[in-house]
Structure 1
Amino acid sequence: MKTHTTSLKTTAIAAAIGVGMFANSVAAQDKVVINMHTTVGSNVKILGSNAKIFADRVSEMSGGTLEIRHYEPGALVPAIEYFDSLTVGALDAAWGSTGTNANKNPALVLFTSVPFGPSPGEMLGWLYHGGGIELYDEIYASFNVKGIPCSMDRA
């Protein structure tokens, strides 16, 4: 295997993980390494710092058997030009806002910060009890990507 936010500043950050990375069997490996591109630097509160926190927690919770290597914007691909790399499997994972992918499908803005839109609780309710996650999954699947809503915060 390759080593690969309310008054409405609700930022739904998604870690979009390329579906192809799951195709390889990891049963015989002691450690899985996923290289994760980020669109905002880790020095930026919430938008950037949560990606690093996520990566560190995954490693800790897995006892080190799953490592997500956090890369700052531009280290692997230009900051917001990650989506095409995900769709073809050139990136293992990416952390960014679904809004940056609206040029691929305008419906993706429904899953990010919308002026006067839902609070984080309302957003999560719609996602997990109102059919939102099914739409989310359908859109991303059309690009061979698995998106995972990972972070919402009140600013």
Structure 2
Amino acid sequence: MERRKFIKGAALAGTAAAAATLATPAIAQAKKELVIVSTWPRDFPGLGISAQRLAARITELSEGAITTTYFAAGERVGAFDVFDDVASGNSQAYIAADYYWVGKHPAFAYFTSVPFGMTSPEWNAWIKFKGGQALWDELSGSFGLKALPCGGTGTQMGGWFNKEINSADDLKGLKMRIPGLGGTVMSKLGVSTVSLPGGQIYENLVSGAIEATEWVGPYNDYFMKFYEAAKFYYTAGMHEPGGGLAFGMNQKFWESLSDTEKAIITAACNEEHAAQHEEASANNGEYLAKLINDHGVELRSFNEDVWDTFGTAAKEVFEETRNHSALAAKINDDFQAKLRELGGFRKIAEIEFSNQRNRVLGI
């Protein structure tokens, strides 16, 4: 009897050992390699550090089951080459602003930010709960991609100028770095627009190749040292009221992932999407004060006549975008309808409160 127990126990132990031997390579084979390319330079304050943080977080959350290798702009491909690199399958994901791809399809702009568009809270609501993600999937899928939101900076500043802008006439002939549909609006007003990656803006501004630029907000802009070439810094701009950045994946890679792996990547993107916005919000006031007090930056606001001119041009741009294709019209119309729904409620709640709070407290 004891002998039979021993033999049975030995057999079970042997089976367990064999299973363990088989399990090790099986686990190793299950690991996913995720190569990420970015439009931001390495260790770039704000945007670049956020992208690096996201790449590391995916590996951390997956406990190494998804191993990420991160390449900043220019390390594997150029900043504006990341879309094609991922669509081709050479890399598995990019981190970028999807409005950089309006040359491929103008509706990509709606999945970063558009003139007179949604603020970040409104855009988040549209993407997550009002059908925006499905439209993004439809557009990205037509290029072999799957995108998720992975960052946001909130309402951006109107930009840096080497002269004051007191009327629409002051914009005519101006050379400015501004991408997306905001750049198209400026073009209609006589601005000569260019779309430069972040790492090339400073040198072009200092050399005079451009005379104005938009970037993000005080926290991100401070480290760019734009104040060395342009002293007039404009408050909220029409071009980028909010929205988000994209973690764009090769669609075949995404579809190869298990439900758990998809959930891990989605969770990491959602976490960083919130963190980047919160980080910018936490630091913008402090760094605006440094720009003004330490570097002599002069803060200005566009007057209502300039805003009205922006608005007229923006309406033309939206109509032209609609005329591009049925999908562009579908995305624009949904975006505009949801903007009015979401913005309408925020007007009678958050905006009314913040206006009255600031009046009462003298903010």
Normalised to the residue count of structure 1, the TM-score between the two structures is 0.76
Q: Structure 1 residues 132, 34: closer, same or farther in 2, change over 3 A?
A: same
Mapping 1:6-155, distance limit 5 Å = 29-154=29-154, 155=217
Alignment gaps of 5+ in structure 1: 1-25
Partner deviation per Cα, 1:119-146 (whole Å, 9 max, x = no partner): 2110011112222111100000000111
Corresponding residue SS for 1:29: helix
Aligned partners of 1:105 and 1:49: how far apart in 2? 28
Q: Structure 1 residues 27, 137: closer, same or farther in 2, change over 3 A?
A: farther
Corresponding residue SS for 1:138: helix
What is the CA-CA distance between 1:40 and the residue it aligns to?
A: 0.6
- Equivalenced residue count is 130
Query: Aligned-pair RMSD on alpha carbons?
Result: 1.9
Alignment gaps of 5+ in structure 2: 1-25, 155-216, 218-363
Aligned partners of 2:119 and 2:27: how far apart in 1? 41
Q: Counting strand residues as a fraction of each chain, which structure ranks higher?
A: 1
What is the CA-CA distance between 1:27 and the residue it aligns to?
A: 6.5
Partner deviation per Cα, 1:3-33 (whole Å, 9 max, x = no partner): xxxxxxxxxxxxxxxxxxxxxxx97625322
Aligned partners of 1:90 and 1:83: how far apart in 2? 10
Aligned partners of 2:75 and 2:68: how far apart in 1? 15
Q: Structure 1 residues 117, 102: closer, same or farther in 2, change over 3 A?
A: same
* 8 Å CA contact 1:40, 1:79 repeated in 2: yes
Amino acid at match of 2:62: S
Aligned partners of 1:142 and 1:34: how far apart in 2? 22
Could you say which residue in structure 1 is the equivalent of 2:265? none
Could you say which residue in structure 2 is the equivalent of 1:18? none
What is the CA-CA distance between 1:153 and the residue it aligns to?
A: 3.0
**Larger RCO (CA under 8 A, 6+ residues apart):** 1
Aligned partners of 1:63 and 1:97: how far apart in 2? 28
Corresponding residue SS for 1:148: strand
Corresponding residue SS for 2:47: coil
Corresponding residue SS for 1:58: helix
Q: Counting helix residues as a fraction of each chain, which structure ranks higher?
A: 2
Aligned partners of 2:27 and 2:123: how far apart in 1? 36
Partner deviation per Cα, 1:54-111 (whole Å, 9 max, x = no partner): 0111111111221111111111111111212222212211111101111111001011
Aligned partners of 2:104 and 2:115: how far apart in 1? 21
* 8 Å CA contact 1:41, 1:49 repeated in 2: no
Amino acid at match of 1:63: E
Amino acid at match of 2:40: V
Corresponding residue SS for 1:117: coil
* 8 Å CA contact 1:102, 1:109 repeated in 2: yes
Corresponding residue SS for 1:118: coil
